Structure 1
Amino acid sequence: MRTDGRTGGAGMARADGVGRAGRGGTWGAAGVFTGVAFVAAGALGAVQPATGVPTEVVQLTQFGPAAGVGVVALYRWRRTRELLSGRGGGGGRAAGLLGSAVLIVALTVGAYGTLSGGVGFTRPGALHHPFVLTAAAQLVGACGEEIGWRCFLQPLLRTRFGTLVSSVTVGVVWGAWHVPVFAQAPAYAAGFLLATVAMSVVLGVALDGTGGPYRLLLAGGFHTLVNLGLLLFMDEESGAVTPMLCFGLSCLVVALAWARRRAAAAPEPASQAVPAPTTLHGT
């Protein structure tokens, strides 16, 4: 909303009031989403053994962020719909983003192989469940996460901050959401948090300006490729520090390349970094 000489002091006060309400709505929605994502993930993880769903196929905790989006949508439906629908398709970003997932896995495997003298490989046929089923379930689970992190929280914070700041913020929350990681060695937790922040930057930059199912499928596809690569080549979930540090540093290398690309692009218009406050009141 803009004011000019014709609106006078009353018009400026109204604009400021709307701005304050918009900021409160943004942080309120972000807080509710995050709280529900944490609680729902814990509850789903607790009931998973009773469901008989194997964690190798899909972890029910991954649907915690989707639950967070659902709760926010109950009282801010129009705004939630706007965030999820986004602004456009984004053109030919799929190859660059999904290629980045493959590159992260390759760098991780190469670095770990160099340091350890070799890397094991689990043949897809040697998994306890058919690989096609595992891959499909991994995609569904990844989308359960990404509808919250990249399709809701990232665009929500993007209305107040630039691409990189909002991406780093989401990456920190995303990493902290993986609570069990912090029961491991501090170096392991640090490597994991580095990975989530770095991957969040990759996704934030690559998906900026995209929306709808296209955004969800790209984010979920990236997430799935990374998960499957680690499942087949790495043992980072054992709590071993070296593979996790290799993973985190590999993510950082790819993130720096995307951040450099973003910095070389045209500056972000102020209207993208902080949209008109009147767009923040959908309920």
Structure 2
Amino acid sequence: MGMVKVSGTAARRRPVWGTAGVFLAVAFTASGVLGSVQPALGVPTEVVQLTQFGPAAGVAALAVFQRERVARLLRGDGPRGAGRAGALLGAAALIIALGVLAYVVHRGGPGGTWFTRPGALDHPFALIVVAQSIGACGEEIGWRCLLQPLLRTRFGAIASSVTVGVLWGTWHVQVFAQRPGYAAAFLAATIGMSVVLGLVLDGTGGAYRLLLAGGFHTLVNLGMLLFLDEEAGGVLAMSCFAASSVLAAVLCAARAGTDRAPATLHGT
């Protein structure tokens, strides 16, 4: 990874889970507050969900007390491998394509209303794309640009990615009001996508990492908006999406090979 290792004493002075706990507490709380005020503000959820900025609030709160550490985590080890953009965005397209294919097959063919035309949405599609991109970056600056690198200093790429995926999925608390099968499939999907993101982005940092993670997230959200009815609580749609996400994670893990050892940033 080309990172400078710190001594065991330094690592103990900067506990990972304490920092992660503060981030998660603020992210969950801020998202709850933002979600509750969104209706009053009149911001349509089809355009953007304000809860997405909860993780960004978590990063901002941490920066007040651990400015240098947060800056190091966000900066990372520097961008490496421009080809990762194609790999990551291609993975997003593959996840949606395979999920939709499985969904159509299980529905017995392409008939029905599984596809929503962009022009049929309640708001201009261009506005939705821009707002979704901003919202996705609001999430990913917390999950993939801070929490993932933080856990990566203690654990391997796959272990840290799975952990972030579980926390990311649990953060979507509204999902657990749905049927158990839906919630379980959603959690499997967040873990699968987190592994894809964690492996492809491993060793990257800065704006490069944020743009790639945000781009992946945006493509997936738009794909689900146009091609799946999972927002209506459809277990089949979510299950197909989860299966394609897990498959993509398995393919990424197989290509990455053996899980690499934890990588530490100086002073983390």
Is residue 279 from structure 1 mapped to residue 267 from structure 2 by the alignment?
Answer: yes
Alignment counterpart, residue 58 of structure 1, candidates 37, 42, 48? 48
Q: Does 2:147 match 1:159?
A: no
Cα displacement (A) at 1:18? 3.0
The match for 1:42 among 32, 39, 43 is 32
Shift of 1:89: 1.5
Is 1:246 paired with 2:240?
A: yes
Deviation at 1:86, TM superposition (A): 1.3
Q: Helix, strand or coil for the counterpart of 2:267?
A: helix
Corresponding residue to 1:135 among 129, 152, 166:
129
Relative to structure 1, is the Cα distance of residues 16 and 227 closer, same or farther in structure 2, using a 3 angstrom cutoff?
Answer: closer
In 1, the alpha carbon distance for the partners of 2:257 and 2:139 equals 28
Q: Deviations over 1:217-263 (max 9, x none)?
A: 00000000000011001100111111110010010111100011111
Aligned-pair distance for 1:2? 8.8
Name the SS of the counterpart of 2:168 in structure 1: helix
Tell me by how many angstroms 1:274 deviates. 4.5
In 2 relative to 1, CA 2–242 (structure 1 residues): closer, same or farther, beyond 3 Å?
closer
- Residue 222 of structure 1 corresponds to which residue in structure 2? 216
Give 1:200's match in structure 2, choosing from 188, 191, 194: 194
Deviating beyond 4 angstroms after TM superposition, the runs of 4 or more aligned structure 1 residues are: none
Q: Which of 13, 18, 21 does residue 13 from structure 2 map onto? A: 21
Gap regions ≥5 residues in structure 1: 4-14
How many angstroms apart in 1 are the aligned matches of 2:75 and 2:208? 10
Q: How many residues align?
A: 261
Unaligned runs of 5+ in 2: none
1:8 is matched with none
Match of 2:172 in 1: 178
RMSD over aligned CA atoms reads 1.7
- With normalisation by structure 2, the TM-score equals 0.94
Q: 1:79 to 1:239 in 2, by over 3 A?
A: same
Structure-2 change in CA distance of 1:214 and 1:2 (3 Å): closer
Which position in structure 2 is the counterpart of 1:12? none
Counterpart AA for 1:279:
G
Q: Tell me the amino acid that sits aligned with residue 132 of structure 1.
A: A
How far, CA to CA, are the matches of 1:249 and 1:110 in structure 2? 11
Question: What letter matches 2:37 in structure 1?
Answer: V
**Structure (1 or 2) with the larger CA radius of gyration:** 1
Aligned counterpart for 2:107 among listed residues 98, 102, 116: 116
- Mapped to 2, the partners of 1:166 and 1:135 lie a distance apart of 30
Q: Percent identity?
A: 61
**Relative to structure 1, is the Cα distance of residues 43 and 182 closer, same or farther in structure 2, using a 3 angstrom cutoff?**
same
Which residue is 1:93 aligned to? 84
Q: Equivalents in 2 of 1:16, 1:195: separation in Å?
A: 35
Q: Which is bigger in relative contact order (C-alpha 8 A, separation at least 6)? A: 2
